[in-house]
Structure 1
Amino acid sequence: MKSALFNRQPDDKPFLIAGPCSAETEAQVLETSRRLAATGKVQALRAGIWKPRTKPGGFEGVGTRGLPWLKKAGELMGLPTAVEVATAKHVEDCLAFGIDILWVGARTTGNPFSVQEIANALRGVDVPVLVKNPIHPELELWAGAVERLQKAGLQHVGLIHRGFSSYGNTDFRNAPMWHLPIEMKRRLPGLPLLCDPSHICGRRDTLAAVAQQALNLGFDGNMLESHIDPDSAWSDARQQITPEVLRDLIEALVWRHETTDQREFLTALASFREQINQLDAEIMQLLGRRMAVAEKIGQYKKENDITILQTNRFNEVLDRAFRQGASVGLTREFVEQYFAAVHLESVNRQNKVMEG
């Protein structure tokens, strides 16, 4: 498993971890694993053993007694096994039953005390650990969890992108916010990065699109939930698919390479990138000129005892930008984020003028 995920070569196929959201019975785990293995697409088997729930009273997993079910399935199918851990006791139990891969869930990643507890329990142990992003879009928490595990001596640490909670989001269970895992990949280029479309989507019909986008962005693979009877699953029924549907989904994905040695491609790419470099330089020059004007406005406001913030003015800027952006194919979301950043920098510049 370590060689397959942590020492990937350019021609290696995407890594896939699959299995039920929750281990429910031994028969369910074994049958799901058998059918997943039969697809020939899965590199590791997963199953939820302990299930964190927002409110008490729901199904919280079968607990430690489910570990030998998964281990048996892995041995029968010749595949490594993966389990989520949230406490030192979870770690100890998984190690006692020989679970091959551990992952830290989103709720746990957001709690440095819990991550440190897991890191302490793993000190001196050579086992791969994958870290899901925290529920809220806080990169420092995600990076901090990785650092805590690495400082405990773990040599094989990876990332799982499972989306982020966002107010008002309706398209996804957890908004993908692709720029955040991309930034993590930039910061930690040596760490494998998997996508968890099941938790991003929360429903079956959009799994394929998210799984494909992850591969398009250079992710190392996906983690997908699969159940022999998804509609009867004890947890997260809407986002699970049968092993056979999963096989079809994986077969339909287009696998792209990160680079190539073809001279024609590299020459064309270099030309396009040089165009981007030139345009970026021009944008920076324009932004610099814009901020210089903003500082002049700040000075003028200061001399006339006018406040910095002019809400109506910013609304006018946004409305015009939305129209102009739409005419050149820019999304409303991008335009809003871009001008929010520009506006904040303008306000900061004017504030410095006021304080000067």
Structure 2
Amino acid sequence: MKLNLNIQPLSSWVNIKNEPLIISGPCSAETEEQLLATAHLLAATGKVSVLRAGIWKPRTRPGEFEGIGSIGLEWLKKAKQETGLPTAVEVATAKHVEEALASGVDILWIGARSTANPFTVQEIADVLKGVDIPVLVKNPVNPDLSLWIGALERINNAGITKLGAIHRGFSSYEKSAFRNEPMWELAIQLKTLCPELPIINDPSHICGNRELIPYISQKALDLDMQGLMIESHIDPSVAWTDAKQQVTPAALAEIVERFSLRKPESKNEEFVDKLADLRKQIDKIDDLMIQKLGERMAIIEKIGEYKRDNNVTILQVNRWDEIINKRSAFAKAVKLDLNFTEKFLELIHNESIRKQTEIMNLGEELSNIEEASAK
């Protein structure tokens, strides 16, 4: 099922000088001098198309720096006048939108915390009616694709056709190298549902540290994302917010310079023919896999009936451990990733349990019906 969104192409948004689109600037506008100095250095790289800065900063706990406030919009306006760079800010309330529009901000984005609240998104959507401005919607804090889609739909329903998404990763209890887990599959699902929707990756918030930014940025571009939002500060070591994930303008230029830019498709006939042949091979294997999974589930149904008739529990931990150990060893031998193998086996196992549970419950219902009839 495809999303029915009315969207203009990214090229119609602002005067984008570079491809991919690079949106950069400090996490927070701290002082006029800091913002202007950073803006001039970013413009001088020739790599940046849009200047961003946090004006209002929704923080996790009170007492932390929550943004310089509306005065920062005047600094942004001055930075735009001096550098020629279009500007972008995050908005979280209707008042933010009104002030940003009045100050001539070129692009708005809705943050992850706001996306998670449909009331907030609708409030922003209501004040955007009749306005022609690009709006980017970050994914919600938690991995909820429907919530992300709902926010995009609300903004689009308000008449905003210059619409895009920002993939900034998702909160997770599991510790990893990332501040927010990329969960690329959710961004890919969104792109599949709406191929024309521009998706901008935010490696700064995914990584949480500057060292991983080049890796995540390249991966995002390889997945055909249209741009990157990377936080940059004239001196990250003294930044008031998120110091570890910001890079200097010079470092940003170096990161962008090293990108390998790949096209989503090729018109080379030899390539097209070879790719078509390889895809036919994959199709045959996919059909065979589905057929074998069907045969496996048919056996699972027989096992469920046999367990039911012999009053045996569905879950047998020893058998599950045996499957994991044997299949994982085999998967390693054929060079399959262990994490992928375990997730794949878990999906199959969960479906097996569901089917056996269904059979057990059906058997109990039939028994109850038979007993009632006998009475």
- Give the TM-score band, short-chain normalised: over 0.9
**Which TM-score applies when normalising by structure 2?**
0.91
CA contact (8 A) 1:86 1:108 kept: yes
Match of 1:131 among 134, 137, 141: 137
Question: 1:243 aligned to 2:249?
Answer: yes
| Residue 59 (structure 1) aligns with | 65
In structure 1, what is the Cα distance between the partners aligned to 2:261 and 2:169?
A: 22
Q: Is the 8 A contact 2:10 2:162 kept in 1?
A: no
Separation (CA, whole Å) in 2 of partners of 1:93 and 1:277: 54
- Residue 339 (str. 1) matches residue 345 (str. 2): yes
Which deviates further from its counterpart, 33-42 or 318-327? 318-327
State the Cα distance separating 1:311 from its structure 2 match: 2.5
Match in the other structure for 1:28: 34
User: 1:256-287 deviations in whole A, cap 9, x for unaligned?
Assistant: 01111110110111011111111100110111
Could you tell me which runs of 5 or more consecutive residues in structure 2 were left unpaired when the two chains were aligned: 1-7, 363-375
More moved, 270-279 vs 310-319: 310-319
Offset at 1:332? Answer: 2.2
Task: Determine the C-alpha separation between the residues in 2 that align with 1:312 and 1:48.
Answer: 53
**Conserved? CA contact 1:199–1:239, under 8 Å:** yes
Q: Are the counterparts in 2 of residues 158 and 193 from structure 1 also a CA contact under 8 Å? A: yes
Distance 1:37 1:3 in 2: 24
- 2:374 paired with 1:355: no
- The answer to whether structure 1 residue 114 and structure 2 residue 120 are counterparts is yes
Alignment of 1:21-100 (within 5 A): 21-100=27-106
Aligned to 2:3: none
Q: 2:81 & 2:326 partners in 1: Cα distance?
A: 62
Separation in structure 2 between the aligned mates of residue 244 and residue 175 of structure 1, nearest angstrom: 27
Counterpart mapping for 1:313-328 below 5 A: 313-328=319-334
1:216 is aligned to 222
1:201 maps to 207
State the one-letter code of the partner of 2:171.
S
Structure 1 residues 192 and 334: alpha-carbon distance in aligned structure 2, compared to 1, 3 A threshold? same
Provide the C-alpha distance between the structure 2 equivalents of 1:178 and 1:46, rounded to a whole number of angstroms: 24
Relative to structure 1, the CA distance from residue 4 to residue 37 in structure 2 (aligned partners, 3 Å threshold; closer, same or farther) is: farther
Which residue type is aligned with residue 221 of structure 1? G
Q: For the aligned residues, what is the CA RMSD?
A: 1.6
2:183 to 177, 184, 199: 177
Shift of 1:317: 1.4
Check 1:119–1:156 CA distance in 2 against 1; reply closer, same or farther (3 A cut): same
Unaligned residue ranges in structure 1 (runs of 5+): none
Map of 1:255 onto structure 2: 261
Is residue 148 of structure 2 the alignment partner of residue 148 of structure 1? no
Native 8 Å contact 2:10 2:198 kept in 1: no
Q: Which residue does the alignment assign to 1:230?
A: 236
Deviations 1:13-63 (A, max 9, x none): 211100000000111111100000000001100000111111100000001
Deviation at 1:68, TM superposition (A): 1.1
Match of 2:335 among 304, 329, 334: 329
Answer with 1 or 2: which has the greater Rg. 2
**Taking every aligned residue pair, what percent have the same amino acid on both sides?**
53
- For residue 54 of structure 2, give the secondary structure of its aligned residue in structure 1: coil
Cα 1:152/1:253, change in 2 over 3 Å: same
Contact kept? 1:6, 1:191, Cα under 8 Å: no
Match of 2:311 among 288, 293, 305: 305
The match for 1:289 is 295
Letter in 1 for 2:317: T
The answer to whether the 8 Å contact 2:21/2:226 transfers is yes
| Structure 1 SS opposite 2:23 | strand
Number of corresponding residues? 353
Q: TM-score, normalised by structure 1?
A: 0.96
Find the aligned partners of 2:328 and 2:344 in 1 and give their Cα distance.
11
